[in-house]
Amino acid sequence: MKMWIVLVLAAMAAGASAQSCSCETMKWATCDGTPCKCYVMVGQNEKQFLNCTSLVPKCILMKAEMYRARKGMDTRTLGGKPDESAFVDNDGIYDPDCENDGKFKAKQCNNTEECWCVNSAGVRRTDKEDKNIKCEKLVETYWVRLQLTHKEVGKEVNEAKLKTAIAEAIHKRYKNFNKDMVDEIKYDPKARMIVVDVKKPKGERKSDLTHMAYYMEKDVKVLPLFKNQEKFEPNVDGQTLEMTNILVYYVDEDPPTFTMKHLSGGIIAVIVVVVLAVVAGLLVLFFARRRQNQQYNKAQQREMDPM
């Protein structure tokens, strides 16, 4: 009996692989052979083999994208804070250094002399410095906020049902992503904005939020990375929500260490005005003192005259 089941399973597996040797999670992959093996090019004559039953790590995707961009094949464009220390990716794509398991190396230089430290999502979390910069460890992103905008729809969207629909869509689309990590969803019907907080416990290292976030970013901003080009369209009450925009915030286990350079123009202007006012005040005081002293000297001289 057991033998029979094993034989049937083996036959099914063989049939499946003979039928379609392709990579579900990566549309740019090349697949061939028995057993079926898939890879993407990440450099001149540099093949990266993939596990097509799970999401491809972001570092490998970025490497492949940079290679394709250099070859003129395909490029991408990149576009309220969940936490004081949350930040967005303003740099966009670079050619990353990846570990063997697909994680980002903590220090990245984009093939230049200028280097910086990244979080586990590969997003810069320090200033750019020279190549002697020290990045002690790869700091984990444990919380991402996905700020989505959807197209206009006919019927009003039910907020309670929206949460279930989004969690379900994420779970199904992104390779059994753990629904429990979809922590909170807020909805603004006027702005058609959905804010999805995806969180894992600090210190947890088994799951990764950033691959899912990257696949979703691509789904909304460009085109899906999946071989099957179906869109990310959560279904609420029989009505599909087509997404038009996404912004991703990252919250790391340790806050980032950007410096004053990143203060916005407005704040810098206020600081300049305050400094100028203080300097002006000091000058006024200085001249007033000097005049007083001069008057005092004159008065003294006059008193001494009769003598």
Ligand X SMILES: *[C@@H]1O[C@H](CO)[C@@H](O)[C@H](O)[C@H]1NC(C)=O
Count residues contacting ligand X (CB under 6 A)? 6
Across the strands, what pairs with 184?
Answer: 197
- Select 56 or 251, whichever has its Cβ closest to ligand X: 56
- Select 86 or 109, whichever has its Cβ closest to ligand X: 109
For residue 175, the minimal CB distance to ligand X (Å) is 7
Site map for ligand X, 174-213, x if CB under 6 A? ----------------------------------------
Query: Phi and psi at residue 5, in whole multiples of 5°?
Result: -60, -45
Give the amino acid at 31.
Answer: C
For residue 93, the minimal CB distance to ligand X (Å) is 7
Q: Under rule CB under 6 A, which residues in 99-138 are in contact with ligand X? A: 110
How far apart are alpha carbons 39 and 31 in whole angstroms? 7
- Select 22 or 158, whichever has its Cβ closest to ligand X: 22
Asked if residue 94 binds ligand X (CB under 6 A), the reply is yes
Give the amino acid at 218.
Answer: K
For residue 116, the minimal CB distance to ligand X (Å) is 8
For residue 110, the minimal CB distance to ligand X (Å) is 4
85: closest CA among 210, 251, 298? 251
Give the amino acid at 302.
Answer: R
Q: What contacts 41, CB < 8 A, 6 or more positions away?
A: 30, 47, 48, 64, 67, 68
Q: What contacts 167, CB < 8 A, 6 or more positions away?
A: 179, 182, 185
For residue 90, the minimal CB distance to ligand X (Å) is 9
Across the strands, what pairs with 47?
Answer: 41
How far apart are alpha carbons 139 and 101 in whole angstroms? 16
- Select 55 or 194, whichever has its Cβ closest to ligand X: 55
Site map for ligand X, 37-76, x if CB under 6 A? --------------x-xx----------------------
- Select 207 or 292, whichever has its Cβ closest to ligand X: 207
- Select 115 or 246, whichever has its Cβ closest to ligand X: 115
Other beta carbons within 10 angstroms of residue 206's beta carbon come to: 6
Q: Report yes or no: 227 and 24 within 8 Å, Cβ to Cβ.
A: yes
For residue 142, the minimal CB distance to ligand X (Å) is 20
Residues that bind ligand X (CB under 6 A): 51, 53-54, 91, 94, 110
